[in-house]
């Protein structure tokens, strides 16, 4: 039984939803055409704060999202296990001996909480939420 399981939001573009529902969340390959979220290594990113995930769902980071669109977010169980909590970015992620990274707001200018797991098996999608 996994330990240290927390509910986290995961935001993604609408065009990714069908693939995610068919295959689950995956870690994008290094040569992915469009990939956001690699500050803490190659992993699956989520947040306890829905507003953080909403930025990814609306494609905010690429400035190509519209104002009147439907967006989708997933509410997932993240099995964090033994989580590393960085105080700066002077380490290589993932950190050896840890199952995940748990980032507190204020760390390295991060505004919202973030969690990163490094294996798809650490994520269980519970709900697909649609917002208009």
Domains defined along the chain, listed by start? 5-131 (3.90.228.10)
pLDDT of residue 95: 95
* Nearest alpha-carbon partner for 51 in 88, 4, 8: 8
Stretch 94-112: mean pLDDT: 92
Alpha helices in 24-131 (DSSP H): 50-57
The per-residue pLDDT for range 104-119, each reduced to its tens digit, is 998 888 899 999 999 9
Using alpha carbons, list the distances in angstroms from residue 47 to 56, 67, 93, 113, 117: 11, 23, 18, 6, 11
Residue 13 tokens read as 């573009």
Whether 37 has a pLDDT exceeding 90, the answer reads no
Average pLDDT, the chain: 87
Reported as a pLDDT band with limits 50, 70 and 90, residue 90 is confident
């Amino acid at each position: 039984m996994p330990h240290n399981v927390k509910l986290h939001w995961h935001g993604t573009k609408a065009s990714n939803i069908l693939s995610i529902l068919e295959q689950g969340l995956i870690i994008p390959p290094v040569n992915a055409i469009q990939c956001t979220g690699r500050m803490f290594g190659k992993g699956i990113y989520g947040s306890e704060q829905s507003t953080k995930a909403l930025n990814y769902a609306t494609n905010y980071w690429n400035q190509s999202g519209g104002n009147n669109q439907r967006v989708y977010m997933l509410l997932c169980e993240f099995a964090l296990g033994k989580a590393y909590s960085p105080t700066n970015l002077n380490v290589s992620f993932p950190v050896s001996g840890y199952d995940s990274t748990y980032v507190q707001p204020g760390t390295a200018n991060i505004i919202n909480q973030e969690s990163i797991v490094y294996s798809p098996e650490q994520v269980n999608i519970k709900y697909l939420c649609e917002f208009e």
